[in-house]
Structure 1
């Protein structure tokens, strides 16, 4: 994705309303309040999690995201930022993992190891709150410009997602299909699955 498109996306999402599934996930957690924000972007989820008393470990592959968040959260020692990929990030023990619209861009070949490491870092009764890209999304289709945007996307379906959630109690699971335009005005068909799941006790 070009720098112009990335900055447009960050501008559109920097102060977005907190999603209901993230609020639901936070309500499930008492202590410790330690979160990992995977693909933190402009930091809207970081801001919400900090307001709810979480220490937040956040990473993004884009340098511009980390620069923006360092500026936004200057002086906050409980926001720890890293420029990293999913497979290179060192996942600390946590009670919440947030991966909204970010696992879409984890290469399929990397995903099994990434998922293993992510879920292993969750403490018992820890919560995963994230979304997955469905097979009918524009990004999964033949007309998606991978040269201009992302060369690899991870697409999946309900059966596969539920198989990944073995060892979790599924709190909410929803499929979304909507049509509209991206922040850049490009027509888009969205097909997403949103999940909140709590890791079972040992």
Structure 2
């Protein structure tokens, strides 16, 4: 399935020469609960012209906070970017904004340690909390072309969500242009 998707994107991109598939890894801080997440992002970027770009992306993050507190999130993003200094292909500095939809799962557990050392340690959950929200994204990124079709970039973002959370992070990205 992935091969067919890749071939389909490649055949479309050969006509346009403006499509980039990027993978990013980094860290983000979720404001509620101060969870530091390891984050992975997949992006599909289409360059409209040397000044405007649109992007569809997904972002996944997970974290362990202290003993027995876990949080993970998955989000989808639609963003638009402007390159204020014009995309000269070698270096592309972008400012962007867009909309995200996030789903967050938080799981907390604790352990009951008995007084008698011969009894087993009991582990049980005290709750699972699921929530979601919509946000407006604010993004600053810079992308450098290493080879003709390979790029390396750095992305900083902040996302204030409607339910009160704010997700702020930085990602190192590698992209392939088609």
The reply to whether TM is greater than 0.5 is no
Higher strand share: 2
Larger Rg computed on CA atoms: 2
